[in-house]
């Protein structure tokens, strides 16, 4: 499947983790996708939520043979702040989240996905690069999902 190139692209947490963990099975695919979009002149976005999720995932000892210590994670977050545009929550983010909750069936952990979409809407970002395509299909009326790998 060819890589779709967008004007602005939101990078989901799983892509950020894969790109930064050399042992991750999708490490190369994540890096190649990020590089392809960056080289095309695409504006690459993450959010403060993605940064928090990155720290949470990378500090979980049970997920990785070598979890990162917090000092290293702070350094990575500072690097991400300089390498990507960071979308912070603003008043319209909450309004968009509440609108999505009314219109799209979500609950529990799915609220985190809805908040990513709400953040994207607040910042005018229409494309999302993720490996969790199924989690975001319900939002297809609002955003375009770009899968990391071909969906079967």
Structural domain boundaries of the chain? 13-88, 89-152
Q: What is the per-residue pLDDT across 104-138, written as a single tens digit (0 to 9) for each?
A: 999 999 999 999 999 999 999 999 999 999 999 99
pLDDT bucket at 150, cuts 50 / 70 / 90 = confident
Burial string for 33-52 (b: 16+ CB within 10 Å, else e) reads: bbeebeeeebebbbbebbbe
pLDDT of residue 60: 83
- In the predicted model, is pLDDT for residue 6 greater than 90? no
- In the predicted model, is pLDDT for residue 152 greater than 50? no
């Amino acid at each position: 499947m060819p890589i779709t190139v967008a004007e602005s692209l939101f990078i989901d947490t799983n892509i950020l983790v894969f790109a930064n963990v050399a042992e991750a099975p999708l490490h190369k695919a994540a890096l190649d996708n990020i590089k392809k979009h960056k080289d095309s002149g695409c504006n690459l976005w993450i959010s403060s939520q993605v940064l928090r999720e990155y720290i949470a995932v990378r500090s979980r000892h049970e997920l990785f043979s070598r979890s990162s210590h917090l000092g290293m994670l702070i350094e990575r977050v500072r690097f991400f702040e300089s390498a990507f545009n960071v979308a912070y929550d603003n008043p319209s983010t909450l309004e968009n989240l509440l609108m999505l909750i009314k219109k799209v069936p979500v609950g529990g952990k799915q609220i985190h996905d809805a908040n990513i979409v709400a953040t994207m809407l607040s910042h005018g970002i229409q494309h999302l690069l993720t490996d969790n395509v199924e989690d975001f299909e319900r939002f297809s009326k609002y955003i375009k999902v770009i899968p990391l790998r071909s969906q079967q």
